[in-house]
């Protein structure tokens, strides 16, 4: 059987190939394709989102291929129509947004994802970004690197707030949010959770469930976003919602950029209502040269790195390879989404 390992510069093709060999042995022909992400930002390709590479290159690589393992390849209607031998696509990420699921069903192609592969990494990064923004670590590091001992940051008015005793509101409490909740609890924070889709008993195990988003915002010193991006959650935090936060609050987003109104965030930072913010994701990636985010005060920004560590790359390849093994053995797929 011919298998395509369509990797990139994070989940590399040879890593996928090694995990496939460990799972299914060497009796199959694995071809490799390297996509440009993350050296080139992902984006929309035809009708799918967050994809890397072009349809023609993927089509060429899929000739005669029955199984494709990828993280970012654009599996569009055109690609599916031009790959008649394809029967399985395993996407090495939590949401297979780079695959046209409707077209996959029409062409008899099964689609799987790899849920949870970066939950721990994203949770760690979220807490780190939260602390970096609250304690103004990037500013003080930059000052010292420039040769200035920034003693003014020890003054009361310049010190950032801490997590011990703070009320931290989490919007969404799935695989990532629940880990963040447990970590924050260990640091002495009072964790409050809003997730209308989660089991309330499970929420009580990690924090204080709050039934209403407005109530969560009014009572939180720090707010961290962990919701999926859907038509209902797009723009979830806008000017009205940010105005509900107490003066001196902190906002962190390692989920999806479009959950947050970036202009409203800049307004709140520039006015001094928010003490700080930390963003790892943006509505447009990378932010445009004229984006207000680039000059907003007390804003820590990183280039969509929360889910990136070496363990995540191995997790994605290993979970994907296990799905390929189930497919070849005729077993039920564990993470089928189409």
Segment 266-275 mean pLDDT: 97
pLDDT at 282: 97
pLDDT at 145: 96
What residues have CB less than 8 Å from 267, skipping those under 6 apart?
239
H/E run at residue 200: helix 200-206
Segment 76-88 mean pLDDT: 98
pLDDT tens profile 110-161: 999 999 899 999 999 999 999 999 999 999 999 999 999 999 989 988 888 9
Out of 17-31, 78-92, 195-209, 321-335, least confident range: 195-209
pLDDT at 73: 98
Segment 181-197 mean pLDDT: 96
Coil vs helix vs strand at 12: coil
pLDDT at 157: 84
Rounded CA gap, 30 and 40, in Å? 25
Q: How does the average pLDDT of the chain come out, rounded?
A: 96
Segment 196-212 mean pLDDT: 90
Answering whether pTM is above 0.85, one says: yes
Q: Does pLDDT of 199 surpass 90?
A: no
Rounded CA gap, 144 and 141, in Å? 5
Segment 283-302 mean pLDDT: 96
pLDDT tens profile 27-58: 899 999 999 999 998 999 999 999 999 999 99
Confidence of residue 95 (pLDDT cuts 50, 70, 90): confident
Set out the domains of the chain in order of their start, with CATH numbers.
Answer: 2-117+309-329 (3.40.50.720), 119-301 (3.40.50.720)
H/E run at residue 30: strand 29-34
Confidence of residue 198 (pLDDT cuts 50, 70, 90): confident
Residue positions annotated with a catalytic role:
256, 285, 304
N- to C-terminal Cα separation, the chain: 22
């Amino acid at each position: 059987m011919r298998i395509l390992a369509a990797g990139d510069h994070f989940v590399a093709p040879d890593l996928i190939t090694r995990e496939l060999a460990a799972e299914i042995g060497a009796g199959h022909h694995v071809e490799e394709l390297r996509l440009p992400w993350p050296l080139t930002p992902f984006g929309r390709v035809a009708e799918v989102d967050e994809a890397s590479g072009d349809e023609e290159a993927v089509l060429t690589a899929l000739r005669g291929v029955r199984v494709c393992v990828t993280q970012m390849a654009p599996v569009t209607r055109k690609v599916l129509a031009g790959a008649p031998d394809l029967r399985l696509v395993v996407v090495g990420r939590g949401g297979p947004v780079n695959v046209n699921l409707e077209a996959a069903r029409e062409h008899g192609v099964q689609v799987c994802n790899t849920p949870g592969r970066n939950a721990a990494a994203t949770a760690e990064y979220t807490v780190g970004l939260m602390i970096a923004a609250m304690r103004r670590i990037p500013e003080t590091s930059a000052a010292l690197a420039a040769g200035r001992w920034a003693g003014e940051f020890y003054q009361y008015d310049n010190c950032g707030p801490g997590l011990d005793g703070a009320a931290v509101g989490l919007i969404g409490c799935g695989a990532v949010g629940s880990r963040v909740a447990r970590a924050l609890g260990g640091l002495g924070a009072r964790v409050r959770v809003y997730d209308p889709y989660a089991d309330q008993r499970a929420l009580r195990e990690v924090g204080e469930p709050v039934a209403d988003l407005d109530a969560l915002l009014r009572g939180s010193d720090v707010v961290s976003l962990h919701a999926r991006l859907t038509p209902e959650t797009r723009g979830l935090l806008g000017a009205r919602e940010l105005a509900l936060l107490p003066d001196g609050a902190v906002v962190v987003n390692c989920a999806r950029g479009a959950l947050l109104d970036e202009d409203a965030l800049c307004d709140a930072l520039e006015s001094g209502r928010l003490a700080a913010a930390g963003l790892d994701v943006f509505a447009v990636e990378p932010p445009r040269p004229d984006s207000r985010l680039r000059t907003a005060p007390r804003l820590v920004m990183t280039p969509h790195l929360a889910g990136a560590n070496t363990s995540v790359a191995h997790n994605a390849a290993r979970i994907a390879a296990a799905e390929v093994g189930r497919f070849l053995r005729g077993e039920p797929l564990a993470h089928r989404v189409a």
